[in-house]
Structure 1
Amino acid sequence: MSEFICPQQGSRPSARGREAKSYLRADGTCSYCGSITEQAFFAAVEAGLEVTPTDKSYKVYVDVPEERAGQPRVVSVTGGDDQPGPDWIPADPAHLEASGWMGGGYNWMQLAPRGATRQAKFYLEHLSYEGQIRFVALVNAKGMQLAYPGFFYVAPFFCEPVRKGSVA
């Protein structure tokens, strides 16, 4: 397992005074922040999958292929003793955990099949300098499929707007 310092973490020391190390989890995400990797981000962009801008200069969401497409996932949970409706079934801890529902107190759950893609987060700090250049080139060439509103209403932290008529 290759360790690294997550860029989201910076050089903040751990509780023991050492730099805490991050690693890539089995699902290919950063153990510290949950971001997908730069390589996974650009693979999704090149596949024409959608990138969703956010109101943060350091984060976007990106559609990535769902490895478990068609398999059931938990879409809603509730507590209480009475079954809330006919499409609710008794909560199963294994299904809950596999779908990312942590904690307890859930008595009922609803299932739906997983789609062909899922939305993952990508922290732009995970881009190398070359990755930042590639990102800007893709945006400028309209080579990135942007979700609503179709543009970055908050510019990525490594970008500066260019005024009309000025030379960069």
Structure 2
Amino acid sequence: MTITSPTRRPLAAKLALVSTVSLGLVAGPVAFAGPANAAPSYSERVNCWVEAKKPYLLKVHDQGYHKFARVDFSFKIKCDKNVKVHFQQWIVKEKKNGYDRIKYRDGDVRVHKNHVVHENTRAKVDKDHKDDKVKVLHVVKITWDKDKDKDKGKWSKGSDVDKSKTLTIHFKKGY
């Protein structure tokens, strides 16, 4: 049995190995820390909520054969940070086979931290020929996108939807 002695590494090879390992220890955390800063932390995210209020009957108009009602379709938006919010609102009346759109509205509003923004939409609801009552409701969807801060690189996106309760409008009988 022969015993071979381990080969000795030259001093330059040992120094190269030590400097490669130390460079890896220093550069490793820097490389891993880079992508973590790009994702928003929980505290940097923006959260917004929308609440579609139950429609409010303002007045029923009876002008001969043409009967209609004026209804207020309100909603409110609240955010935990300053942000620009885009809203879409569908005002519909229930039919036996689905819904009939009365009005569509969209726009942008600036919501300040912990303040509530109220939006009011008034719409005319016509009486159907054979029905003495009409059921109406509205659906509101909001979306927001906080722009990246130039210094911090933080961002967040989100959306929320709410459907109001149904309002039944009773018209007097007869045409």
| TM-score bracket for the superposition, by shorter chain length | under 0.3
When the two structures are superposed, what TM-score results if normalisation uses the length of structure 1? 0.22
Q: Which has the larger radius of gyration?
A: 2
Which structure: greater strand fraction?
2
